[in-house]
Structure 1
Amino acid sequence: MELGAFSISLAVKDIHKSKEFYEALGFQTLGGNIEQNWLILKNGDTVIGLFQGMFEKNMLTFNPGWNQNAENVESFTDVRDIQKALKAKGISFVQEADESTEGPAHFTVVDPDGNPILFDQHR
């Protein structure tokens, strides 16, 4: 099961200050829209998302269908197939993808320590 591109999504208080801080660490903007309060930053193979006012806690994020440069990959495991496989293993969900659809979808699970994990497919 291929989970896709991995990043840490950070719930930030001030996206401008956070952007400045992470740029000082060598991160560069890969995508997003600061006017909409979200940015994707990259340093080497490390990707982080900055999100102001969109969710309460930091979370791990997987993007099926993307590589670490937010580029489409030819072959990938659809988010609904990942969801079905996790359900078969007894994982419980906070939010589920509609398995009757195709294309963009997402679901969220929480690990045993309360850390949210978002699976977010954009295509």
Structure 2
Amino acid sequence: MSKAFYETLGFTLFGGQLEKNYIIMKNGNSLVGLFQDIFENTIITFNPGWDENANPIDKFDNARTIQKHLNLKTLN
């Protein structure tokens, strides 16, 4: 895994299970999930409805809404 790389950037272990090939690392408000041999391809995921501490939040924009907003901006 890239755990050592992210540690050099100041990330620390936040969650997950190394023995099950996944960990979550945190640096300030930034989270990175590292998964080895779990997904077939490289992917980006989002956890809408959670804050950076995995606590539920009431209001949030989902990724598809943000994508539509960004696509409209690039067309104008």
1:50 to 10, 30, 34: 34
TM-score computed with the length of structure 2 as normaliser: 0.67
State whether residues 64 and 76 of structure 1, in contact with CA within 8 Å, keep that contact through their aligned partners in structure 2: no
Q: Secondary structure at the match of 2:6?
A: helix
2:52 to 43, 55, 68: 68
> After TM superposition, what 4+ stretches of structure 1 lie above 4 angstroms from structure 2?
none
Which has the larger strand fraction? 1
How many residue pairs get matched? 64
Tell me the C-alpha RMSD between the 2 structures.
2.2
**What amino acid sits opposite 2:31 in the alignment?**
V
Q: Which has the higher contact order (CA 8 A, sep 6+)?
A: 1
Task: Please list every run of 5 or more consecutive structure 1 residues that lacks an aligned counterpart in the other structure.
Answer: 1-14, 90-123
Question: Whole-Å Cα distance in 1 between the matches of residues 32 and 43 of structure 2?
Answer: 10
TM-score computed with the length of structure 1 as normaliser: 0.44
Question: Whole-Å Cα distance in 2 between the matches of residues 76 and 61 of structure 1?
Answer: 19
Task: Please list every run of 5 or more consecutive structure 2 residues that lacks an aligned counterpart in the other structure.
Answer: 69-76
Which has the larger helix fraction? 2
